[in-house]
Amino acid sequence: MTHSHLRVTAAVTGVLLLAGAATACNRGSSSAVSGKASGPAIGIDLPRADSDFWNSYAQYTRRFISSQGIHALPISNSQNDVTKLVANVQVFENTGAKAVVMAPQDTGAIASTLGQLANKHIPVVSVDTRPDSGKVYMVVRADNKAYGTKACEFLGKQLGGKGKVAELEGALDSINGRDRSEAFAACMKKEYPGITVYPLATNWDGSVASSKLQTLLAQHKDINGIYMQAGGVFLQPTLSLLKQKGLLEPAGAAGHISIISNDGIPQEFDAIRRGQIDATVSQPADLYAKYALYYAQAAASGKTFKPGPTDHGSTIVQLPNGLEDQLPAPLVTKANVDDKSLWGNNVAN
């Protein structure tokens, strides 16, 4: 991350305090902090608990709710199930939510729910995922096409433009999975035609990824690169499989398989330090939490935004169904893995 992250904390703190936050209160389902909260009631649904990235996002969300005294309704977790998300949103409606924060994993199936919320004048902030249709107040997200392009460019240079790469794709019914896959494929085709890519659809499931990768490695023993679209679910299964197969050679050693990931979790940083993987693109879990809450409070208060540069190093772009704040997501390698501004080095603090 960049020095803009230092400015983010001050900017968000000021705005949230002005919004009427008083003292600490965490209304999350897994923990509570005594005290009083003020301001409009915000409904927050966490998308899943089987990913280190999303668990980090949840930790930051609860931290900011507490520190900013945000009036959050009991936090729900839809567990990667759109029917549970719909039910959780209904509870938010019934308990007085003035805005809703969600991260729908199936971006095509949430449209009708977004329509119902719009009819009731309850604005929605979508985190990390961009709904295919249905009105949203703001999407808080990094440029996922840039993830795929950065991964392609890094692996292309690492491999000298030649070789075979396994791509552990996310869910292709998700805008994030599609963006990363399409950008990676387009970049490889244009810039590195000497590299053969083997896309493996996984639906963001680590066990599926491991099984398919095992089959691919049996068929192509000369795989020399791997792109993991989500380190939060793919890192440990992939490293375990490579170790089992005697293929987990450290960076710089003969037989090393070059690996780049997406997420920026502490476990990826440790793997980079050990030479097990080479790089990751850091999704800003901290900024996702900060700005999801900021925009939810702004929406509930009737504030509006326009496309253009922000004061926190990002750009708001116009969507067909709302706006999107595209937050920065830096490439992390051994050269900068210890940078203290990276959220993955601070999440446990």
Q: Give pLDDT tens digits along the chain (349 positions).
A: 333 333 333 333 333 333 333 322 333 443 333 346 779 999 999 999 998 999 999 999 999 999 999 999 999 999 999 999 999 999 999 999 999 999 998 888 999 999 999 999 999 999 999 999 999 999 999 999 999 999 999 999 999 999 999 999 999 888 899 999 999 999 999 999 999 999 999 999 999 999 999 999 999 999 999 999 999 999 999 999 999 999 999 999 999 999 999 999 999 999 999 999 999 999 999 999 999 999 999 999 999 999 999 999 999 999 999 999 999 899 999 999 999 999 999 876 4
pLDDT at residue 36 in the model: 63
Q: Which long-range contacts (CB under 8 A, 24 or more apart) does 8-15 make?
A: 8/287, 8/290, 8/312, 8/313, 9/290, 11/311, 11/312, 12/64, 12/290, 12/291, 12/293, 12/294, 12/312, 13/68, 15/294, 15/297, 15/298
Q: What is the pLDDT at residue 3? A: 36
Predicted pLDDT at 348? 65
Question: 14 exposed, middle or buried (CB, 10 Å; 0-12, 13-18, 19+)?
Answer: exposed
CA dist 291 and 312 (Å) reads 10
pTM of the model: 0.81
Distant-in-sequence, close-in-space partners of 169: CB < 8 Å, separation ≥ 6 = 177, 180, 181, 199, 200, 201, 202, 229
CA 99 from centroid of its chain's CA atoms: 21
Identify the pLDDT of residue 107: 87
What tokens does 338 get?
A: 């210890």
Rg (CA), the chain: 20
The two three-digit tokens of residue 72, written as one number: 């959050």
Kindly state the tokens that stand for 86: 């719909």
CA distance 89 to 104: 11
pLDDT at position 106: 87
Distance CA 68, CA 71 (A): 9
